[in-house]
C-alpha cells in the first residue's frame, strides 16, 4: 500500500538562512492517494525569532498566539515518527524542506532528502507550462473549493493540496470521495461519495449455444488435467472431459 504525506508549513519569514523559523506544520496521510483521518498539526513557538509583519499578513499567526506553544525540539519526535520514511508531497518543496532541515540540523537530526519529495509546483509547471501554478490558481483550475482560505494555514493548505495532487496525476476526485460513512473531508467542505448505479436488467448474452458447445469441444482436446475444465463444466451436466 502506497503511503504518502502531504505537508505544509508556515514560518516567521521567508529565509531560514537569516534565522526565520517554522511556526506551524500541517500533514495529511494519503493511502493509495486517498486521504485518511490520520493527520499531524502543530503550532510552534519560534524561540528568539519574532513573526515578521509581512508573514503575519499572509497566515494571520501572531506571537501572542504562539506564547504557550511548544518549541520545535519538543514536537520533533512526534513529527519524525509521523512522516516516517514516506514520500512527502509539498508545494514549492524547496522552501518547506529548507526550513525543516534547518530545524532538524539544530537538533542534530538527519536531514530530509529531496529525492523523497514530490514537488507539486514542479508537477504543475510541467503539466500546465506558462500557466499560474500557485495553490489558489490550481484550485481554481480544478474547481476545488478554497473559499475558506482567506489566510494561509498549514493544515488547510495540506487538505487542498491533497486534492490538487490527485488532479495533477490525472486521477480526479474518484479516490477522494471514498471514506468512512461515505464522506471525506475536502478542505473545510465535505464530499459525499455517489452510490454505484445498478443495471435494472442484465445484458443479453452474446454467446449462442453453438458457441458454448464449440468452446467445450475445444477444451476437451486439452486433456483431463486442463485448468479450463474446472471452470467450464455446465451446471447439472457432465464435464467437457466426459467425467462425472
Query: Does residue 187 share a domain with residue 114?
Result: yes
Domain count, the chain: 2
In angstroms, the CA 216 to CA 108 distance is: 70
Query: Does residue 96 share a domain with residue 205?
Result: no
Q: Which of 16, 45, 91, 152 is catalytic?
A: 152
Cross-strand bridge partners of residue 98:
none
Query: Does residue 163 share a domain with residue 118?
Result: yes
Name the residue range of residue 224's domain: 199-244
Query: Does residue 97 share a domain with residue 140?
Result: yes
3-state secondary structure the chain: CCEEEEEEEEECCCCHHHCCCEEEEEEEEEECCEEEEEEEEEECECCCCCCCHHHHHHHCCCHHHHCCCCEHHHHHHHHHHHHCCCCEEECCHHHHHHHHHHHHHHCCCCCCCHHHEEEHHHHHHHHCCCCCCCHHHHHHHCCCCCCCCCCCCHHHHHHHHHHHHHHHCCCCCCCCCCCHHHEEEECCEEEECCCCCCCCCCCCCCCCHHHHHHHHHHHHCCCCCCCCHHHHCCCCCCCCCCCC
Cross-strand bridge partners of residue 119:
90
pTM of the model: 0.70
What CATH number is given to the structural domain containing 102?
A: 3.30.420.10
Domain boundary (157, 176, 192) is at 192
Read off the pLDDT of residues 83-97 as tens digits, 9 standing for 90 and up: 999 999 999 999 999
Read off the pLDDT of residues 201-243 as tens digits, 9 standing for 90 and up: 666 677 788 878 888 888 788 777 776 666 665 544 444 444 4
Res. 111: pLDDT tops 80: yes
Mean pLDDT on 171-176: 53
Domain boundary (157, 177, 192) is at 192
User: Is 16 noted as a catalytic residue in this protein?
Assistant: no
Amino acid at each position: 500500500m502506497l503511503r504518502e504525506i502531504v505537508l505544509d508549513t508556515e514560518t516567521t519569514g521567508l529565509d531560514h538562512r537569516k534565522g526565520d523559523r517554522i511556526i506551524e506544520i500541517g500533514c495529511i496521510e494519503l493511502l493509495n492517494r486517498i486521504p485518511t483521518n490520520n493527520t499531524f498539526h502543530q503550532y510552534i513557538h519560534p524561540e528568539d525569532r519574532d513573526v515578521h509583519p509581512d508573514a503575519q499578513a499572509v497566515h494571520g499567526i501572531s506571537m501572542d498566539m504562539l506564547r504557550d506553544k511548544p518549541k520545535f525540539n519538543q514536537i520533533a519526535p512526534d513529527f519524525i515518527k509521523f512522516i516516517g520514511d514516506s514520500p512527502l508531497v509539498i508545494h514549492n518543496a524547496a522552501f518547506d524542506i529548507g526550513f525543516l532541515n534547518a530545524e532538524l540540523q539544530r537538533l542534530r537530526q538527519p536531514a530530509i532528502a529531496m529525492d523523497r519529495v514530490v514537488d507539486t509546483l514542479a508537477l504543475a509547471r510541467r503539466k500546465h507550462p506558462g500557466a499560474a501554478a500557485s495553490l489558489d490558481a490550481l484550485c481554481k483550475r480544478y474547481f476545488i473549493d478554497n473559499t475558506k482560505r482567506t489566510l494561509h494555514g498549514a493544515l488547510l493548505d495540506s487538505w487542498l493540496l491533497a486534492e490538487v495532487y490527485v488532479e495533477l496525476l490525472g486521477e480526479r476526485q474518484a479516490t477522494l470521495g471514498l471514506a468512512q460513512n461515505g464522506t471525506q473531508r475536502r478542505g473545510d467542505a465535505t464530499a459525499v461519495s455517489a452510490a454505484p448505479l445498478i443495471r435494472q436488467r442484465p445484458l443479453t448474452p452474446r454467446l449462442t449455444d453453438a458457441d458454448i458447445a464449440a468452446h467445450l469441444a475445444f477444451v476437451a482436446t486439452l486433456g483431463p488435467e486442463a485448468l479450463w475444465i474446472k471452470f467450464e463444466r455446465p451446471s447439472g451436466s457432465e464435464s467437457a472431459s466426459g467425467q462425472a
